[in-house]
Amino acid sequence: MPHPPLHLAAALDGAGWHPAAWRLAGTAPEALWSASYWANLVAEAERGLLDFVTIEDSLDLQSSRPDGPDGRTDQVRGRLDAVLLAARIAPLTRHIGLIPTTSTTHTEPFHVSTAIATLDHVSSGRAGWRPRISARRSETGHFGRRDLPELRPDLFAEPAYVELVGDLFTEAADVVEVVRRLWDSWQDDAVIRDLPSGRFVDRDRLHYIDFRGRWFSVKGPSIVPRPPQGQPVVATLAHSSVPYAFAAASADVVFVTPPDADAAEAIVTEVRAAEDTVGRICEPLKVLADLVVLLDEDASAAWRRRDRLDGLHGAEPVFDAPVFAGTADELADLLGHWRRAGLDGFRLRPAVLPDDLAAISRTLVPALRDRGLFRAAYPGGTLRDLLGLTRPANRYAVGTPT
């Protein structure tokens, strides 16, 4: 039985994922804080029929150190708010999904729920959300509400640090739960606009969520009517067992970082086991593998680009995902091979923007299509439709199973 077409997404960050990307001729570092720069990137991704783009965000400046500023002035520093960017871009696009990133550690879930619900309305059902924990002490200093130890790799195996990370993911799960309840706090037919009676809203179809947890209590209801998708798509990045469990319990899509096909198969197996462990009852997670990509007309040219970037950076950068340098045909063959490990698709991180994104949309996508691995047109509908996810019933509607 043939596989369904794979899902393909692009992860957008600054001038590209390579830290020296902004220094290449042809890039436009002066435009990084303009709406047109980001709109053009998303338009390019939509031209390639990609399922969605993710927009990176963080609550501290970029750094090559695990925690705190590194003092470097030769790399991009500073970013725009991902949710606001997505809302600005939404009216300029028609089909592609928009998934901004926010912190679950320092951002109020009520604010997140209203922002993503608003994005879903203004995009006609193409919104998603990527929740991420903030484990860095440098981020906590902006808020003054808690204190965390400095993030140091030599402490990762210490019991106290393992417990801390576990708490951050438990808190993140509560944040997602609150956000999801708030999205459901308006039933789909709560807005009635009944002129004869003068009633705009049926108050009986708005619901308090009355969430009480370890980190916060939220009464609800939301101030935004239920999103067009019911539940916008929740996506998360995971590298190990604790975030796999978080994804299994809280997300619709998980991004993973296997170095090869064998590792991809092992990770998919671990993700499916995590779904069983948490008792997941909704549709299985969509598992997408991340790769940093540099594409060119021949492999040697791609490697020369990579060597030049590494030279400008002063060393070979360390990424959390594997790096591919080669041609679109070579990458298409690799993706076809990896997807047999049980992956549903891929999130590609262009090393240089807009160059590698354009190569994805204009050369990789046709190569995948020639292999029967990708669609020839958008089917229409919401982001959930595009990903093959059903629209969830409202948990507060009469007759909805609990």
pLDDT tens for each residue of 356-376: 999 999 999 999 999 999 999
| Both tokens assigned to 245 | 């469990």
Residues 6+ apart with CB under 8 A from 311: none
Q: What is the mean pLDDT of residues 380-398?
A: 95
* Sign of the alpha-carbon torsion through 249, 250, 253, 258: negative
> How would residue 1 be classed by pLDDT, with cut points 50, 70 and 90?
very low
Report if residue 313 sits inside a domain: yes
Asked if residue 144 belongs to a domain, the reply is no
| pLDDT over threshold 90, residue 103 | yes
Query: Cis link prior to 109 (omega < 30° from 0)?
Result: no
Total count of domains within the chain = 1
What's the rounded Cα separation, in Å, for the pair 90 and 84?
Answer: 10
- Evaluate whether residue 219 is within a structural domain: no
Distance of CA 370 to the CA centre of its chain: 28
Residue range 143-164: mean pLDDT, rounded: 86
Bridge partners of 129, per DSSP, are 234
In sequence order, which residues have a C-beta less than 8 Å from that of residue 390 and are 6 or more positions away? 283, 384
Say if 177 falls within a structural domain: no
Instruction: Tell me if 57 is assigned to a ligand binding site.
Output: yes
CATH number of the structural domain spanning residue 64: 3.20.20.30
240 annotated to bind ligand: yes
- Residue 166 placed within a domain: no
What CA–CA distances, in Å, run from 174 to 109, 147, 168, 179?
A: 9, 20, 10, 9
Q: What is the mean pLDDT of residues 221-229?
A: 98
Confidence label for 48 from pLDDT (cuts 50, 70 and 90): very high
Average the pLDDT over 295-312 and give the result: 97
pLDDT score for 399: 65
CB contact burial 244-265 (16+ within 10 A = b; e otherwise): bbbbbbbbbbbbbbbeebebbb
Does residue 251 sit within a domain?
Answer: yes
So what's the pLDDT on residue 79?
93
Query: In whole angstroms, what is the distance from residue 126 CA to residue 22 CA?
Result: 30
Q: Domain containing 41: what range?
A: 7-132+226-387
CA 184 from centroid of its chain's CA atoms: 21
Q: How far is 400 from 395, CA to CA, in rounded Å?
A: 6
Q: Is 103 annotated as a binding residue?
A: no
Helix (H, G, I), strand (E, B) or coil at 337: helix
Q: Is residue 312 situated within a structural domain?
A: yes
Q: Is 38 helix (H, G, I), strand (E, B) or coil?
A: helix
When pLDDT is averaged across residues 252-273 and rounded to a whole number, the result is 98
- Predicted confidence at residue 353, as pLDDT, reads 96
Cα 201 from chain centroid (whole Å):
33
Contact 20, 390 (CB under 8 A): no
Share of the chain above pLDDT 70, in %: 98
Question: DSSP string covering 45-90, please?
Answer: HHHTT-SEEEE---SS---SSSSS-----SS------HHHHHHHHG
**Which pLDDT value is given to residue 147?**
84
Q: CB–CB of 364/26 below 8 Å?
A: no
pLDDT for 195 beyond 70: yes
Letter string b/e over residues 13-42, b meaning 16 or more CB atoms within 10 A of that residue's CB: bbbbbbbbbbbbeebeeeebeeeebbbbbb
C-alpha distances in angstroms, 239 versus 4, 88, 200, 276, 290?
A: 26, 31, 47, 18, 11
Q: Above 60 in pLDDT, residue 245?
A: yes
The pLDDT of residue 246 is above 80: yes
**Taking residues 155-167, what's their average pLDDT?**
89
CA–CA dist 121, 57 (Å, integer) = 22
Distance CA 111, CA 319 (A): 31
Domain-located, residue 190? no
Query: What are 7-41's pLDDT values in tens digits?
Result: 999 999 999 999 999 998 677 788 999 999 999 99
Confidence of residue 2 (pLDDT cuts 50, 70, 90): low
Distances in Å between the alpha carbon of 206 and those of 209, 218, 319?
A: 10, 15, 45
**Given pLDDT bands bounded at 50, 70 and 90, which one contains residue 222?**
very high
**In the predicted model, is pLDDT for residue 289 greater than 90?**
yes
Q: Which residues pair with 294 in a beta bridge?
A: 325
- What is the reported pLDDT for 228? 98
Considering the chain, what is the average pLDDT of its residues?
A: 94
d(CA 127, CA 129): 7
Residue % of the chain over a pLDDT of 90 = 86
Give CA–CA dist 382/127, Å, rounded. Answer: 8
Neighbours of 325 (CB within 10 A): 22
